[in-house]
C-alpha cells in the first residue's frame, strides 16, 4: 500500500470508475467521493476496492467537499462537465491543502483555471494541473521536447485524431454539448503571442500519418493552444481536427438523447479505439519537425495519465501554482511511464 492518499471526486461516473481501477492496480490508498453513497459503494466494488473509504459530498456543499478532501495528497476531479461545477471542486481542494488534477477536456474551463487560480494555489502551497488526460498531457509534453530540439518556434499546429470505434461516454457528450459554441468557432488559438478567440481563417490541408493524400482540417478548441505557450517560446499555437471529425462533433444532441445512450463504450469498443496527436512545428529559423504521440483506448489512457500525474504530484510535488504538464513533470520521463501501456511517441525532422 502506498503512503499517500488520492481522492477521486465523481468516482462513480464512467471515467471515475476507470481511474479507480488504475489506482487499484497500483495499490494506492483511495478515497471515493461524490453525491450518492450507494453509487460510490457500487463503484468501489466494481473497481476492486470494496473497503475503500467513501466520503459523500454534494457539488454545491463547500464544507462537505472540503471535509471530503481533508488529509488526502491529491484530488482527481472526474465530475464533468467541468465548466459549470469545476470551480467548486478546485476551491475545496485548495481549502483542504490538496493538490489537484482533473479529466477536463473543455478548453474554456482549462483557460479559466490557468487565469483564475495561480495566486490561490501558490498561497495554499499546492499544485493544480488541469486536463490530466490523453488529450491534455502527452501533446503538451511532446511540444516541449520539440521546442528543445528546434529552439524558438514560429508555428505549432496540433491535430487530434480518433480511430476505431467512435462511441463516447455520456460525460463526453455532455461536455460537447456544453462547449458547442467553442467548437463551432474553433475556440481559442494563440496567435501573434496572444490568446485570441475564433472564428479563424481556413487551415491548409495536411498529410497525416497513414493517409495517402492531404486531409481537410478544421480549427478545434484543443488543450495545447492554452498550455503550450506557458512554457515554450512560440508565436502561434493552433488546434485542429479533421473536418470529418468536427462535423461528427457538430451533430446536434440533446440531454434526452444523451440519457437514452449507454453510460459509455463497452470493453470491446474501448479496445478498438485509438488516439493520435500530430504536432507540426516550424522554428523561427525555418527548420521543421513533426512530433507524433499515439495510444489505445482514450478513456483507459486518460485514467492511466490522470493517475500517473496524481502520483507524481503526491510523491515529488513541483512548484505550487497552476502548472502546464511540461512545467509540472519531466516530459520524456512522463511519456516513458506511459510506453508500457501502448503509448508511442516520436519526433522527426521534416
Strand partners, 197: 188
pLDDT for the residue numbered 257: 79
Tens place of pLDDT for every residue, the chain, 350 residues?
A: 458 999 999 999 999 999 999 999 999 999 999 999 999 999 999 999 999 999 999 999 999 999 999 999 999 999 999 999 999 999 999 999 999 999 999 999 999 999 999 999 999 999 999 999 999 999 999 999 999 999 999 999 999 998 876 678 888 888 877 787 877 899 999 999 999 999 999 999 999 998 999 999 999 999 999 999 999 999 999 999 999 888 777 777 788 878 888 888 998 899 899 999 999 999 999 999 999 999 999 999 999 999 999 999 999 999 999 999 999 999 999 999 999 999 999 999 99
CA 287, chain centre distance (Å) = 30
Q: Which of 313, 305, 325 lies closest to 4, judged by CA?
A: 313
**Residue 324 and residue 207: Cα distance in Å, rounded?**
29
- Rg value, the chain, Cα: 19
Q: How far apart are CA 173 and CA 169, in angstroms?
A: 6
Instruction: Go through 313-348 and write b for each residue having 16 or more CB atoms within 10 A of its CB, e for each that does not.
Output: bbeeeeebbbbbbbbbbebeebbebbeeeebebebe
- Residue 301 C-alpha cell reads as 489512457
Range 256-263, long-range pairs (CB < 8 A, 24+ positions): 258/170, 258/173, 258/174, 258/177, 259/170, 261/170, 261/173, 262/167, 262/170, 263/14, 263/169, 263/170
Domain range annotation of the chain: 5-133+301-333, 138-297+345-349
Q: What is the dihedral of CA 209, 212, 214, 217, to 10 degrees?
A: -50
Q: Vertex 6, ends 2 and 12: CA angle to 5°?
A: 125
Q: Would strands 288-296 and 99-102 be described as parallel, antiparallel, or unpaired?
A: unpaired
Domain 5-133+301-333 has CATH 3.40.50.720: yes
Whether 118 and 126 have beta carbons less than 8 Å apart is answered as: no
Cell of 46: 466494481
Q: How far is the C-alpha of 192 from the C-alpha of 169, rounded, in Å? A: 36
Domain 138-297+345-349 belongs to what architecture?
2-Layer Sandwich (3.30)
What is the pLDDT, as a whole number, of residue 1? 44
Which residues, in sequence order, are CB contacts of 181 under 8 Å at separation 6+?
none
Per-residue model confidence (pLDDT) at position 163: 85
Place of cell 502527452: 138
**Cβ(319)–Cβ(131) under 8 Å?**
no
The rounded distance, in Å, linking the Cα atoms of 9 and 73 is: 13
Amino acid at each position: 500500500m502506498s503512503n499517500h492518499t488520492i481522492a477521486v471526486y465523481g468516482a462513480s461516473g464512467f471515467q471515475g470508475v476507470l481511474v479507480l481501477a488504475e489506482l487499484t492496480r497500483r495499490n494506492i490508498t483511495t478515497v471515493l467521493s461524490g453525491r450518492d453513497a450507494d453509487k460510490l459503494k457500487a463503484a468501489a466494488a466494481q473497481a476492486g476496492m470494496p473497503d475503500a473509504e467513501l466520503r459523500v459530498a454534494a457539488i454545491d456543499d463547500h464544507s462537505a467537499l472540503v471535509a471530503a478532501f481533508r488529509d488526502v495528497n491529491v484530488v482527481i476531479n472526474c465530475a464533468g462537465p467541468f465548466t459549470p461545477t469545476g470551480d467548486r471542486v478546485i476551491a475545496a481542494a485548495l481549502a483542504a491543502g490538496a493538490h489537484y488534477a482533473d479529466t477536463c477536456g473543455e478548453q474554456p474551463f482549462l483557460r479559466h483555471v490557468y487565469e483564475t487560480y495561480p495566486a490561490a494555489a501558490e498561497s495554499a502551497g499546492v499544485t493544480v494541473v488541469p486536463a490530466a488526460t490523453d488529450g491534455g498531457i502527452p501533446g503538451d509534453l511532446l511540444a516541449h521536447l520539440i521546442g528543445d530540439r528546434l529552439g524558438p518556434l514560429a508555428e505549432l499546429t496540433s491535430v487530434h485524431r480518433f480511430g476505431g470505434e467512435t462511441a463516447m461516454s455520456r460525460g463526453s457528450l455532455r461536455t460537447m454539448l456544453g462547449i458547442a459554441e467553442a467548437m463551432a468557432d474553433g475556440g481559442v488559438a494563440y496567435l501573434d503571442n496572444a490568446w485570441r478567440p475564433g472564428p479563424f481563417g481556413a487551415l491548409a490541408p495536411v498529410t497525416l500519418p497513414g493517409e495517402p493524400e492531404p486531409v481537410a482540417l478544421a480549427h478545434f478548441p484543443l488543450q495545447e493552444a492554452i498550455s503550450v505557450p506557458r512554457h515554450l517560446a512560440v508565436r502561434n499555437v493552433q488546434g485542429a481536427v479533421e473536418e470529418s471529425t468536427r462535423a461528427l462533433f457538430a451533430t446536434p444532441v440533446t440531454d434526452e438523447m444523451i440519457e437514452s445512450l449507454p453510460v459509455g463504450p463497452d470493453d470491446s469498443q474501448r479496445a478498438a479505439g485509438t488516439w493520435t496527436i500530430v504536432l507540426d512545428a516550424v522554428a523561427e529559423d525555418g527548420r521543421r519537425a513533426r512530433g507524433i504521440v499515439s495510444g489505445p483506448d482514450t478513456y483507459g489512457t486518460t485514467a492511466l495519465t490522470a493517475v500517473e500525474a496524481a502520483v507524481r504530484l503526491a510523491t515529488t510535488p513541483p512548484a505550487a501554482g497552476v502548472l502546464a504538464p511540461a512545467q509540472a513533470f519531466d516530459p520524456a520521463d512522463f511519456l516513458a511511464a506511459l510506453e508500457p501501456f501502448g503509448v508511442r511517441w516520436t519526433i522527426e525532422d521534416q
